[in-house]
């Protein structure tokens, strides 16, 4: 597997609302289990820093914004759908691609062995 990318993330929340707290808890769990220290997370409370939300054109909270690696991606909501979050961060997509590639290679090897035994 290729070396892990470093992720720069911003989570925009509106105070201590249940959705904001759930998003933060879920995200921290995902980051600790899947990213193992290769990330930087900045939590921005739009009630305290509305100018940051305005600059980044954040229209709803909670919103997770992946800054690096490109492309920039945003996920709106409480982040309770773990698979959606991982796909949004390009982590699950990479794993699916790696698994599909491995499966495709294995299938191709099996087909070539079958073709050779038939001749």
pLDDT in tens, 17-35: 998 999 999 999 888 888 7
Of 30-34, 88-92, 113-117, which range is least confident? Answer: 113-117
Question: Looking at domain 7-92, what is its CATH homologous superfamily?
Answer: Glutaredoxin (3.40.30.10)
105: pLDDT strictly greater than 50: no
Which of 1 and 67 is assigned the larger pLDDT? 67
Six-digit token pair at 62? 């909670």
The per-residue pLDDT for range 63-74, each reduced to its tens digit, is 999 988 888 889
Break the chain into its structural domains and give their ranges.
Answer: 7-92
- Token readout for 107 is 């299938």
More confident residue, 106 or 27: 27
7/114 Cα distance (integer angstroms): 44
Does residue 58 have a pLDDT over 50? yes
Which is more confidently placed, 4 or 42?
42
Question: What pLDDT score does 91 carry?
Answer: 66
Q: Which two tokens stand for residue 75?
A: 């996920």
Whole-number Cα distances in Å, 49 to 34, 56, 70, 107 = 29, 11, 25, 53
Task: Specify the range with the lowest mean pLDDT, choosing from 6-15, 50-59, 73-82, 92-101.
Answer: 92-101
């Amino acid at each position: 597997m290729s070396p892990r990318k470093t992720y720069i993330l911003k989570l925009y929340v509106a105070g201590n609302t249940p959705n904001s707290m759930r998003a933060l808890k879920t995200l921290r769990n995902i980051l600790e289990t899947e990213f193992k220290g290769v990330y930087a997370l900045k939590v921005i409370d739009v009630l305290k820093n509305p100018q940051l939300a305005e600059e980044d054109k954040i229209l709803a909270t909670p919103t997770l914004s992946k800054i690096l690696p490109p492309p920039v991606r945003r996920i709106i909501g409480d982040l309770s759908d773990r698979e959606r979050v991982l796909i949004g961060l390009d982590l699950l997509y990479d794993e699916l691609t790696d698994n599909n590639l491995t499966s495709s290679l294995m299938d191709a090897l099996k087909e070539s062995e079958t073709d050779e035994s038939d001749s």
